[in-house]
């Protein structure tokens, strides 16, 4: 039986497509990011941009609330799909460590992001993309001290998240003066109410360190305005939001610590895609921050923050 050249070429093309589909690279991403947190939408934007640029399939999963049991199950579910790589945030190494180690044992390369720098290598991850949370907190505390702060509060919207706890500890060390943690939930209304109560109970508070721009920074700024003492209070935050950046540009807020979370989504997906295709991987951790955003820089990044990139 004879086959035409065109028929043979078509058959080869179809076979190649079938082989490619069967061996398409897939990357799984599991984070602790909550749906109402604008920070994590930027991470997800980075993930999706990397997937498009790399031409690979990526799944993104996160629990509805800050729930380590649920997150551990999501990691296990992702591992069961046998992806070519796994990206995972690590806010609680004790709770998530076993699931990550199961992924490593299954031969899946793991990159941790955002939180868990201190535990990443111990659990078998190939590298971490993020910042040293304690050092970032310490730098922020030192800056606020230099601005004249003597009595501060650290507004923690996820107590139990090791990374956020480290931010507060770093802030306390760098600040050096009187300070305490104000625990809240992730609801901006609750944050505003609790910060206002803290300010009312101690009128000597002159510094507010928030740990998330949209969830804690903006509500804390609103609480300072509610107290009638905004002009006497230095308000700073970790991470960025368009609203808080506008306050910095207007000199109503002191500064923001930018860890460039778009990179935390984009880079690990790109790294794992290169590893799946060519066996390439960076030789060490990648610090995505911290970067200090003051009034001189705020205007430059307001538009990008509103677009979900900064």
Q: What's the pLDDT tens digit per position in 98-128?
A: 999 999 999 999 999 999 999 999 999 999 9
Query: What residue segments make up the domains of the chain, in order of their start?
Result: 5-130+260-279, 133-258
Residue 24 has pLDDT above 80, yes or no: no
Q: What is the pLDDT of residue 247?
A: 97
The reported pLDDT for the residue numbered 141 is: 98
Which position has the higher pLDDT, 90 or 3? 90
pLDDT digits (tens, 9 = 90+) for 189-199: 999 999 999 99
CA distance 95 to 73: 11
Confidence of residue 23 (pLDDT cuts 50, 70, 90): low
How far is CA 43 from each of CA 30, 40, 49, rounded to the nearest angstrom?
Answer: 11, 5, 10
Segment 174-225, tens digit of pLDDT: 999 899 999 999 899 999 999 999 999 999 999 999 999 999 999 999 999 9
Alpha carbon distances (Å) from 130 to 73, 74, 100, 297, 306: 23, 21, 18, 21, 22
Q: In what order do the strands lie in the sheet with 127-130?
A: 57-61, 26-30, 85-89, 110-114, 127-130, 286-287
The proportion of the chain whose per-residue pLDDT surpasses 70, expressed as a percent, equals 92
Distances (CA, A) of 71 to 143, 158, 163, 243: 35, 15, 16, 30
Specify the CATH class of 133-258 in words.
alpha beta
Computed over every residue of the chain, the mean pLDDT equals: 91
pLDDT for 261 beyond 70: yes
In the predicted structure, residue 88 carries a pLDDT above the cut 80: yes
Place of tokens 């030789």: 283
pLDDT of residue 168: 97
How high is the pLDDT of residue 204? 97
Residue 16 has pLDDT above 50, yes or no: no
What is the rounded radius of gyration, in angstroms, for the C-alpha atoms of the chain? Answer: 22
The pLDDT tens digits for 246-255 are 999 999 999 9
pLDDT band at 35 (very low <50, low <70, confident <90, very high): low
- How far is Cα 27 from Cα 36, in angstroms, rounded to an integer? 24
Q: How confident is the model at residue 21 (pLDDT cuts 50, 70, 90)?
A: very low
Six-digit token pair at 53?
């640029």
State the pLDDT at residue 146.
97
Q: Above 50 in pLDDT, residue 19?
A: no
CATH class of 5-130+260-279: alpha beta
Spatial separation of the C-alpha atoms in residues 118 and 90, rounded to whole Å:
10
Per-residue pLDDT at 267 exceeds 50: yes
> Torsion over CA of 263, 267, 269 and 271, rounded to 10 degrees?
-170
**Confidence (pTM):** 0.80
d(CA 15, CA 203): 74
CB count in 10 Å sphere of residue 236: 29
pLDDT at residue 199 in the model: 98
């Amino acid at each position: 039986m004879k086959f035409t050249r065109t028929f043979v070429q078509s058959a080869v093309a179809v076979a190649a497509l079938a082989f490619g589909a069967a061996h398409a690279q897939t990357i799984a991403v599991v984070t602790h990011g909550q749906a109402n947190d604008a920070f994590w939408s930027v991470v997800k934007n980075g993930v999706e941009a990397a997937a498009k640029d790399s031409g690979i399939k990526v799944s993104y999963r996160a629990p509805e609330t800050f729930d380590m049991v649920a997150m551990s199950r999501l990691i296990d579910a992702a591992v069961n799909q046998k992806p070519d790589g796994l990206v995972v945030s690590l806010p609680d190494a004790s709770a998530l460590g076993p699931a990550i180690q199961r992924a490593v044992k299954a031969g899946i390369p793991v990159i941790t992001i955002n939180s868990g720098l201190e535990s990443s290598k111990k659990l078998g991850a190939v590298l971490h993309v993020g910042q040293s949370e304690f050092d970032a907190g310490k730098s922020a505390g030192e800056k606020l001290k230099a601005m004249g702060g003597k009595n501060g509060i650290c507004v923690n919207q996820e107590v139990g998240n090791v990374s956020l706890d480290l931010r507060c500890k770093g802030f306390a060390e760098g600040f050096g003066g009187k300070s305490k943690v104000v625990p809240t939930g992730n609801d901006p209304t609750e944050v505003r109410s609790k910060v206002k109560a803290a300010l009312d109970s101690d009128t000597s508070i002159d510094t507010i360190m928030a740990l998330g721009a949209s969830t804690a920074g903006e509500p804390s700024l609103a609480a300072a305005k509610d107290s009638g003492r905004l002009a006497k209070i230095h308000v700073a935050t970790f991470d960025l939001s368009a609203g808080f950046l506008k306050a910095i540009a207007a000199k109503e807020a002191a500064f923001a610590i930018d860890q460039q979370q778009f990179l935390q989504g984009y880079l690990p997906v790109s790294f794992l895609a290169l590893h799946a295709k060519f066996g390439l991987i960076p030789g060490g951790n990648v610090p995505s921050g911290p970067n200090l955003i003051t009034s001189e820089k705020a205007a430059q990044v307001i538009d990008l923050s509103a677009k979900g990139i900064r």
